[in-house]
Amino acid sequence: MAKDSNIIHKYNNYLLLEKALSENSIDAYMTDLAKLSTFLEKEQLTIENVTLDHLQQFIAQLYDLGINPRSVARIISGIKSFYNFLILDGYIQTDPTELLETPKIGLKLPTVLSLEEIKSILSQIDVSTKEGQRNRTIIEVLYSCGLRISELTSLKFSGLFLDEGFIKVEGKGSKQRLVPISETAIQEINNYLYYRNQQKAKKGSEDILFLSNRGTAISRIMVFHFIKEYTEKAQIKKTISPHTFRHSFATHLLEGGANIRAIQLMLGHEKITTTEIYTHMDMTYLREEIITHHPRNKNKSR
């Protein structure tokens, strides 16, 4: 087993120097590899004489221990990486992990509210008060524009282009984007501005749209709190957060027939979707996609 330890040490250096992985990533790889090493030691096997059958027995034991499929998939990925290293460094000629199957992992679907549930939540709000109108406007903007909570709390007066039907938000990495806003949300903002224009903002918060009673930008915690309060009053049993309205925004648009590319751009996703087609899509078309398909534009009733 001393030789195995030497190989594992070299693999650690390979991850650090050649793959340039972070310390946390390397620790995760080595932890998973330690599980395999323990199995091999019990079976009196060495790293170099492992077969596909041996690896399948190892994976079966992981399941027997109650390890969930997602974690098993990660361990298999680490083992494949290790044996790829052994091939590259000439320790073995054939890869025993080549036919090792990764478990299928079901997607955990986010909680989504129906339009009726959103109406029910909104109906719990007393809009005759400054706080009530502010809170209703916040929920309407979260849902009508699909914003992240951080984008909502940092929304600025200077980012409102209501006559044009857009707002400018600052997303992850301080990247800005224009988002179409519905007529319903525009009306709520105008209703809120009656109170907002009378409120004195603390220094540095003058351009912030949604203020707390202290005159500073409303906090994420406060938004979480009143959303939970209204949800409970509406007797909705789902676990709801500000992000739930973002999920509902995307889901309802997709169900209504909106272009998936338009939705991805509106959400500010930049994974594999950052291609020419997204950066060159006409903004007028994007606004039409959102306005046409968002349910809040089909029913203006409060």
Element (H, E) at 161: strand 160-161
* 3-class state of residue 294 by DSSP: coil
Whether the CA torsion 52, 53, 54, 60 is positive or negative: it is positive
Choosing from 136, 246, 252, 287, which is the catalytic residue? Answer: 246
Whether residue 296 lies in the annotated active site: no
Which 8-state DSSP code applies to residue 295?
Answer: G
Which 8-state DSSP code applies to residue 129?
Answer: S
Which 8-state DSSP code applies to residue 222?
Answer: H
The gap between the terminal CA atoms of the chain, to the nearest Å, is 72
Whether residue 74 lies in the annotated active site: no
Whether residue 243 lies in the annotated active site: yes
Whether residue 70 lies in the annotated active site: no
Tokens 């620790």 locate to 27
Whether residue 35 lies in the annotated active site: no
Whether residue 177 lies in the annotated active site: no
C-alpha to C-alpha distance for 102 and 170, rounded to whole angstroms: 38
Choosing from 35, 168, 243, 261, which is the catalytic residue? Answer: 243
Choosing from 74, 80, 156, 269, which is the catalytic residue? Answer: 269
Among the residues of the chain, which ranges form H helices?
2-13, 23-42, 52-64, 69-88, 115-122, 130-145, 149-153, 183-196, 220-233, 242-255, 260-267, 276-279, 283-293
Choosing from 19, 172, 233, 298, which is the catalytic residue? Answer: 172
Choosing from 134, 136, 148, 287, which is the catalytic residue? Answer: 148
Which 8-state DSSP code applies to residue 238?
Answer: S
Catalytic positions are: 148, 172, 243, 246, 269, 278
